[in-house]
């Protein structure tokens, strides 16, 4: 009987410690918005009007024009993956200068509380300017390595070029 009692007490002590060691803030996350500019050197096209009269039966080459578009991000003040908590600090798109279907951005995040997880994962949905869902349940992740509380780390975000809004949310296993 004493063995069972000691085992129950030990297990209860471990469970109390584990529940008290949570990195997840008690207050719910707040929401906000950020924007980032997507620069696409091949964003729009127009036929070249030069020499059309001289060569009427020949298709003229297409000329590309640079476009700039604002992508809106719906953010929470923090994201949770397991017992690891991080916040997104900034998002910066890489310029597009070759034909691509996707745009890439570097997401800079800050570690709020490091759990036992070896990765940080955040899910997202991407929408076009009409609200049509372009990518559902996408996710960004990175290996955390030696990242400690308060340190910054980077994640790579890949969304379709026509994305106008990205909504981030906690990754669910």
* pLDDT computed for residue 6 by the predictor: 62
Give the pLDDT confidence of 119-153 residue by residue, as tens digits.
999 999 999 999 999 999 999 999 999 999 999 99
Strands (E) across the chain are located at 31-47, 62-76, 79-81, 84-93, 102-113, 119-127, 133-143, 152-160, 165-170
Reference 62, options 51, 46, 50; nearest CA is 46
- pTM here is 0.78
Whether the pLDDT of residue 25 is over 90: the answer is no
* pLDDT computed for residue 149 by the predictor: 94
Give the pLDDT confidence of 2-20 residue by residue, as tens digits.
675 565 566 655 555 555 5
Whether the pLDDT of residue 117 is over 80: the answer is yes
- Which alpha helices (H) appear in the chain, and where do they start and end? 2-20
Give the pLDDT confidence of 65-90 residue by residue, as tens digits.
888 999 999 999 999 999 999 999 99
Give the pLDDT confidence of 53-71 residue by residue, as tens digits.
666 666 667 778 888 999 9
Residues recorded for the chain: 173
> Among the ranges 23-27, 40-44, 163-167, which has the highest mean pLDDT value?
163-167
Bigger pLDDT: 84 vs 97: 84
């Amino acid at each position: 009987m004493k063995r069972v009692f000691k085992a129950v007490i030990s297990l209860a002590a471990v469970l109390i410690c584990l529940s008290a060691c949570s990195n997840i803030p008690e207050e719910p996350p707040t929401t906000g918005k950020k924007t980032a500019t997507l620069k696409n050197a091949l964003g729009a096209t127009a036929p070249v009007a030069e020499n059309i009269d001289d060569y009427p039966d020949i298709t003229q080459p297409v000329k590309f024009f640079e476009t700039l578009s604002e992508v809106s991000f719906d953010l929470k003040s923090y994201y949770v993956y397991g017992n690891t908590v991080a916040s997104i600090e900034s998002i910066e798109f890489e310029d597009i200068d070759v034909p691509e279907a996707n745009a890439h951005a570097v997401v800079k995040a800050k570690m709020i509380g490091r759990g036992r997880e070896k990765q940080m994962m955040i899910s997202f949905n991407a929408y076009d300017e009409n609200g049509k869902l372009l990518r559902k349940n996408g996710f960004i992740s990175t290996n955390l390595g030696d990242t400690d509380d308060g340190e910054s780390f980077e994640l790579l975000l890949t969304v379709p070029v026509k994305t106008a809004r990205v909504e981030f949310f906690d990754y669910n296993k």
